[in-house]
A and B are shown apart, each in its own frame.
Chain A
Amino acid sequence: MAKVYRSAVIAAPAKTVWDYVRDFNALPKWHPAIATSEIEAGSPADRVGCVRRFTRRSDGGLLREQLLALSDAERTFTYSILVSPMPVANYTATMRFTPITKGNLTLAEWWAEFDVTQGPDADTVSDIGDNVFVAGFAALNTHFSKK
């Protein structure tokens, strides 16, 4: 089992950040790597068990991910990958947003566990950690710095 964990300070209050990212269908709105997204079967995006179907901007690659947990109390959600162009299996990931009271900022955390099905573990771990997770944090900071 490979594990990846990344975290960063986001320059906005936790409620503001959470309101922006809790929508399981909102990846194209905030993540630069994602082009399109829809929730399958006309389900609401905050129904646990719903599936988001989205495409990568780089190559149009299709991903399907299922929402496993969503908590407005803990500002966290967990999902698993059903289909992906990445060489992973048994992939489960969680995002969590914790208030930083000094300065009214947010700690964003994003972590995943998975099996790597092709190539060295370290390559996939750094690809997901840096090109997906840290790139997402950077995009959030860019978004909130413009407000």
Chain B
Amino acid sequence: MTKVFVSAVIDAPIAKVWAKMRDFNGLPDWHPRFSRSHIEDGLRSDTIGCIRNFDIVGGAGTIRERLLTLSDAEYTMTYCILDAPLPVEGYVATLKLYPITVGDQTLGTWSAEFKVVSGREEDVVDAVANGTFGKAFEVMNELLGRAR
């Protein structure tokens, strides 16, 4: 089992960050690595069990992920990959935000566990940890951070 954990301070209040990140259908609205997304079967994006179907930019393929947990109380969502152009099995990821009361900022944490079934493990880890999770927090700081 491979584990990835990435976390970063976002210089914005947690309510703002969560409002942006909680939409399970909203990745292409702000994450530069992804384009086009829809929720399958006409479900709402906050329905537990719904499936998002979205593209990696540049024609690198389509990903389908199922929403397993969504908590506005805990600022957390958990989902698993159903289909992806990534050599992984058993992929489950959790996004969780923490309020930083001193300074009214947010800690974003994003973790995943999966099995790499082919190719180099470090390439897969890099794509997930830096290309997806770390990039997301960078973008949140660009979009919402006070210093920008």
Give the B-binding residues of A (Cβ under 8 A).
Answer: 5-9, 98-103, 105, 107, 109, 134, 137
- Residues 93-135 of B at the A interface (beta carbon under 8 Å): 98-103, 105, 107, 109, 134
The main secondary structure of chain A at its interface with chain B is strand
Instruction: Compute how far the CA of A99 lies from the CA of B137 in the bound complex, rounded to whole angstroms.
Output: 15
The CB with the most chain B CB atoms within 10 A, among A7, A102, A105, is that of A102
Task: Jot down 12 A-B pairs with beta carbons below 8 A, ordered by A.
Answer: A6-B101, A6-B102, A7-B99, A9-B9, A9-B103, A100-B8, A103-B9, A107-B7, A107-B98, A109-B98, A134-B102, A137-B102
Since A9-B102, A101-B7, A137-B102 are in contact, a sample of 20 more A-B pairs with Cβ atoms closer than 8 Å, ordered by chain A residue number, is A5-B101, A7-B98, A7-B100, A7-B102, A7-B107, A9-B9, A9-B100, A9-B103, A98-B98, A98-B107, A98-B109, A100-B8, A100-B9, A101-B5, A101-B8, A102-B134, A102-B137, A105-B9, A107-B7, A107-B100
Does B144 sit at the interface, judged by CB under 8 A? no
Please name all residues of chain A whose beta carbon is closer than 8 Å to the beta carbon of B5 when the two chains form the complex.
Answer: 99, 101
Instruction: Compute how far the CA of A98 lies from the CA of B9 in the bound complex, rounded to whole angstroms.
Output: 12
Partner of A8, one of B6, B101, B137: B101
Is there an interface contact between B7 and A99, defined as CB atoms closer than 8 Å? Answer: yes
Is there an interface contact between B103 and A8, defined as CB atoms closer than 8 Å? Answer: yes
Please name all residues of chain A whose beta carbon is closer than 8 Å to the beta carbon of B9 when the two chains form the complex.
Answer: 9, 100, 102-103, 105
Please name all residues of chain B whose beta carbon is closer than 8 Å to the beta carbon of A103 when the two chains form the complex.
Answer: 8-9
Instruction: Compute how far the CA of A100 lies from the CA of B96 in the bound complex, rounded to whole angstroms.
Output: 13
